[in-house]
Amino acid sequence: MKEIYTETIQLENQLTMYEILSLHEYSQTVDGDFYFITEHGVVAPRNLPKLVSTFLTLDETSELKVVIEGYDVNQIFTDIKECIKEEEAEKVALV
C-alpha cells in the first residue's frame, strides 16, 4: 500500500549542480514520487529546468519540505538526503 510522508530539511549549504542532478536522476529510477515545497513554490525533480532554477535561487539557510508518495517512503527519504549530502563528502576529499 502506498504511503504519503512529509519531512522538512534545513539546508546547511546551497545545493550544487551535482546534488541537483543527483536528485533528478534518482527521481527517474525511484519506485514512487516525490516533490519539494520551497519558498518559491512546488517543484518536481523530474522537471530538471525548474528544479535547477528553483534550487539555485535558494540560500544556504532555506528550509526544504519534501513530500513523498510510495511504498517505502522511509528509504526514499534516506536516499534523497544522501543525494543532497553526496557533494559534501566530495568537498572533504578534494581539500
Using one digit for the tens of pLDDT, what is the confidence trace for 27-40?
Answer: 999 999 999 999 88
Task: Quote the distance between the C-alpha of residue 11 and its chain's center.
Answer: 10
Q: How is domain 3-94 classified at the CATH fold level?
A: Histidine-containing Protein; Chain: A; (3.30.1340)
Helix orientation angle between 17-29 and 48-56, rounded to the nearest 10 degrees: 150
Tell which wins on pLDDT, 1 or 91. 1
pLDDT exceeds 60 at position 89: no
